[in-house]
Structure 1
Amino acid sequence: MMVGSRRSAVILLSLGLLLLGHAAGPAESSAPPLVSRCVLDGMVDAGSSSYLADCVRRAHEAGHQALLVRLDTPGGELESTRDIVRAFLGARVPVLVWVGPSGARAGSAGVFITLASHLAGMAPGTNIGAAHPVVGLTGQDPEEAGGKEMARKIENDAVAFVESIAKQRGRNVEWAISAVRQSESVPAEKALALHVIEHVAPTQEAFLAWANGRSVTVADTPVTLRTANAQVVELQPSFSQRFLHALAQPAIVYILFLIAGLCIAVELTHPGLFAPGITGVVCLVLALLASSALPVRTGAIVLLLLGVALLVAELFITSGLLGAAGTVLLVLGGVFLVDRFDADWFVDSPLRVPLRTVLPTAVFVAGAAIFLAFRTAQTRRRPQLAGDVGLMGEVGQVLDAVSPSGGEVFVHGERWAAVSSAPIPPGAHVVVRRVEGLTLFVDEVKP
């Protein structure tokens, strides 16, 4: 009996586990797949490259089906681009790039990033291309700025880079090379026909739905994507990544250097205020931090600081020439702040401080300096109202008779000991001629 009952218990337990397995199966399969998403919007710099590389790691650690990157960039720094490409090519999770929404672009450095993805899509009305090394202030061709040999070296390096990416991902190598050599740029539909991307989708949801069931190779292993009706999990950048990306703007660097120079100058001319000095040091550190993510000219920074020094000197000399020269140097420093030829940058549009920022800022700073110089000159011409010199010429009234031996007068709201060369009766009006210590030498004012 005991043996039979044990067998019955085992059978019942097995049936129960089997039923539980069937019950759990549909619940698990009904759960929507998870897809991580991050956004690259703007320049490719140290902050954005750190963010995207971190997104690849976080998506893999979370066990998500894929990482979706929404892309809209004019280009950026080459080393940061290499960091992103390196992270995409070595990813242990499928990386999907969607250039969107309509009106977005994958320019210059964006070409390398898009080609490095496992699957690439674009929204209608977007474009990709123009990856020729065109950089800096005026968008000069490297041959014009650095000579034929330097141009050839930079171009060949970029070609080898983009060719290796396109080959590894099985995309159109010829077009990738032409995007670098001839700055070719194509709209979404033509990019699809040329096999630069795999799909044109108006939304990221449509792109994920199309990608569902497709097979990609991740770390030498075929992976079938489950992205239909996926739940998108936003991966936000850290504060430092967001802050560094926000700082890496030429206009912000320009303004930070101006504020730093002015505040430090104020602290040097008015020691002990502390607040301007602390503010200036903080702005200088931020400006140097932002400069590390941009091709900034050292000479332009010197021009900015020299311009600030001339404006400060104007406060003391009030010549007008120093103020004008300082204003010119501020404008020149802003115009030449970003290096117009830097082999480490691939930017579709010129990277520079806009004149709409340079001119108003320089005029405002110069105007403020001229106003302060004018007020300082006015103050210097006014008679001194405080101290011994401030009492000279003041008129008061006699309280106790004043004589060569002494007396008291009321001057400037205060009682003073006074002496005079001739006796002066109480109530008479007197004028202060000179001051010695706490004694006033006065003369009577005749009515």
Structure 2
Amino acid sequence: MNLLSSFLRRTPRPWGRPLALLLVALCLGGSVLAAAPPGRPVVSRCTLEGMVDAGSSAYLIECVQRAEEAGHAALLVRLDTPGGSLESTRAVVRAFLASRVPVLVWVGPSGARAGSAGVFITLASHLAAMAPGTNIGAAHPVVGLSGQDPEQAGGKEMARKVENDTAAFAESIARQRGRNAEWAATAVRESISVPADRAQELHVVEQVAASEEAFLAWADGRPVETADGPKQLTTREAQVVELSPSLSQRLLHGLAQPALVYLLFMVAAIGLVVELTHPGVFAPGLVGLVALVLALLASSALPVRTGAVVLLFVGIGLLIAELFVTSGLLGACGALLLVLGGVLLVDRFDPDWFVDPSARVFVPLPIVLPTALVVGGFAVFLAFRSAQTRRLPQLAGDAGLPGEQGSALSPVSSEGGEVFVHGEHWRAVSASPIPRGAPVVVRRVEGLTLYVDEVKT
């Protein structure tokens, strides 16, 4: 108050009272703002559905970064995955363990699962919950996404090496987060899977929550250890902000489907074949080239055999060769190679992929066989039509004139004359005189001169 009185005495009379009132209003406003209750906490949310691949892992890592930059109270991850790339999973786990914002994983809704690689992501969270009717586990390195055991596909030594490395990875995550490390190792070694209530009893997850809201309400006030130190969660009635993946992340995640990769290779084959048989159309060739680029991009996100891709390219090459050779054998071999390439496309022994055995992540035969037969049949049909076309007499140019009929525009003799044939005026000669207006037939062509005979009626 003394400061305010001193300010009024030193301020000129006309401006003293308005400035004083403004200063008082600012002081009172600051007091009201300081005493006002804080707003609702903000929680970021991202969703992982489907395979853990390069696209989805980049999305989850970016979600952690965006939540940290925004200073949100927590990051909520809704999880439903059969597993995926171990390298992509390790990248997500590193981001979760180094996160400065609490990461909460909810396996849901009912019917969802955290299979294979999903186990590691769940264990790496600060708090985890599962909806009723969900399950977690089956983290054993199942080979090639086809159900084979590593020992059957790669031998005992390779199987032991892969199993020990993966079990140690799961144990280290569980110990760092204070969860059941023994169960984590068992989930890898014995491929066990447990439902939500049993997972809570085994201290694999902290809670069974029917919804995300229930999970956030339960987590409110609980302490967690982040990279920045201990924090107490404020998540009750939080405002949830959805973090959407970028277009490139959506595209890469969407393309990481073996059946889609195979179909893209087939579209590329058809487009290139049509472009080669109809030069200058451009559209089929452009579509084929784009499909080929997308197929190669998707192959980088899946355990795709290089040899299978080579088989597909050789099969495509044989189908293209069939268009020029028309033997039938090349087309049949090309179709056979397309079938083999599709069956062998996904690697049957890739220790860097962990997928629930129930997940049918491979190119199914009901897609491989019809697609290869359609593409092969299409190429054989084009070759057959090309062969028929080559056997037909040439109708264009000079070679198509013999046998054509016309009329004499002037008298025609051995000295010369003029005829009208095939819509054009020609110089003509004839061994026998032909009167003007008489019908003529072309016997042969020499340069720009037609040798004609009169058509007797």
Structure 1 residue 124: Cα displacement: 1.3
How far apart, CA to CA, are the structure 1 residues paired with 2:76 and 2:283?
46
Match of 1:189 among 188, 197, 206: 197
How far apart, CA to CA, are the structure 1 residues paired with 2:353 and 2:374?
32
Distance 1:13 1:221, change over 3 A: farther
Match of 1:82 among 87, 90, 94: 90
In the TM superposition, 1:12-91 aligns within 5 A as 19-21=28-30, 23-25=32-34, 27-29=36-38, 31-91=39-99
In the TM superposition, 1:374-389 aligns within 5 A as 374-389=384-399
TM-score, normalised relative to structure 1:
0.93
How far apart, CA to CA, are the structure 2 residues paired with 1:28 and 1:356?
62
In the other structure, the counterpart of 1:418 is: 428
How far apart, CA to CA, are the structure 1 residues paired with 2:365 and 2:212?
37
How far apart, CA to CA, are the structure 1 residues paired with 2:125 and 2:186?
19
Structure 1 residue 27: Cα displacement: 4.0
CA RMSD of aligned residues (A): 2.5
How far apart, CA to CA, are the structure 2 residues paired with 1:138 and 1:86?
28
In the other structure, the counterpart of 1:138 is: 146
Q: Is the CA contact 1:265–1:309 (under 8 Å) kept in the aligned structure 2?
A: no
TM-score, normalised relative to structure 2:
0.91
Structure 1 residue 181: Cα displacement: 0.7
In the TM superposition, 1:286-325 aligns within 5 A as 286-325=294-333
Q: Is the CA contact 1:73–1:107 (under 8 Å) kept in the aligned structure 2?
A: yes
Q: Is the CA contact 1:45–1:293 (under 8 Å) kept in the aligned structure 2?
A: yes
Q: Is the CA contact 1:135–1:350 (under 8 Å) kept in the aligned structure 2?
A: no
How far apart, CA to CA, are the structure 2 residues paired with 1:136 and 1:395?
70
How far apart, CA to CA, are the structure 2 residues paired with 1:121 and 1:162?
18
Of 14-23 and 168-177, deviating more is 14-23
Structure 1 residue 54: Cα displacement: 1.0
- Secondary structure at the counterpart of residue 46 of structure 2: strand
How far apart, CA to CA, are the structure 1 residues paired with 2:157 and 2:4?
91
Structure 1 residue 209: Cα displacement: 1.4
In the other structure, the counterpart of 2:241 is: 233
Q: Is the CA contact 2:346–2:362 (under 8 Å) kept in the aligned structure 1?
A: yes
Listed one character per residue, the Cα deviations across residues 58-99 of structure 1 (whole Å, up to 9, x for unaligned) are: 101101000000111110111110000000001000000011
Distance 1:3 1:141, change over 3 A: closer
Structure 1 residue 196: Cα displacement: 0.9
In the other structure, the counterpart of 1:428 is: 438
Listed one character per residue, the Cα deviations across residues 109-153 of structure 1 (whole Å, up to 9, x for unaligned) are: 000000100010111111111000003152211000000000000
How far apart, CA to CA, are the structure 2 residues paired with 1:287 and 1:426?
68
How far apart, CA to CA, are the structure 2 residues paired with 1:273 and 1:308?
20
How far apart, CA to CA, are the structure 2 residues paired with 1:192 and 1:254?
41
How far apart, CA to CA, are the structure 2 residues paired with 1:399 and 1:391?
17
Q: Is the CA contact 1:400–1:408 (under 8 Å) kept in the aligned structure 2?
A: yes
How far apart, CA to CA, are the structure 2 residues paired with 1:403 and 1:3?
129
How far apart, CA to CA, are the structure 2 residues paired with 1:120 and 1:2?
58
In the TM superposition, 1:38-437 aligns within 5 A as 38-219=46-227, 221-264=229-272, 275-348=283-356, 349-437=359-447
How far apart, CA to CA, are the structure 1 residues paired with 2:23 and 2:313?
82
Counterpart residue type for residue 376 of structure 2: A
Distance 1:435 1:23, change over 3 A: same
Structure 1 residue 268: Cα displacement: 5.9
Listed one character per residue, the Cα deviations across residues 306-338 of structure 1 (whole Å, up to 9, x for unaligned) are: 111121222222222222221111011000011
Q: Is the CA contact 1:136–1:350 (under 8 Å) kept in the aligned structure 2?
A: no
How far apart, CA to CA, are the structure 1 residues paired with 2:170 and 2:79?
18
How far apart, CA to CA, are the structure 2 residues paired with 1:274 and 1:17?
70
Q: Is the CA contact 2:145–2:355 (under 8 Å) kept in the aligned structure 1?
A: no
How far apart, CA to CA, are the structure 1 residues paired with 2:434 and 2:102?
103
Structure 1 residue 195: Cα displacement: 1.1
Tell me, which stretches of 5 or more residues in structure 2 are unaligned? 10-19
How far apart, CA to CA, are the structure 1 residues paired with 2:111 and 2:43?
24
Distance 1:4 1:16, change over 3 A: closer
The aligned length equals 445
Distance 1:445 1:117, change over 3 A: same
Tell me, which stretches of 5 or more residues in structure 1 are unaligned? none
Of 124-133 and 19-28, deviating more is 19-28
Percent identity between matched residues is 71
Counterpart residue type for residue 397 of structure 1: S
Counterpart residue type for residue 401 of structure 1: P
How far apart, CA to CA, are the structure 1 residues paired with 2:139 and 2:273?
43
Distance 1:4 1:113, change over 3 A: closer
How far apart, CA to CA, are the structure 1 residues paired with 2:4 and 2:413?
137
Q: Is the CA contact 1:133–1:345 (under 8 Å) kept in the aligned structure 2?
A: yes
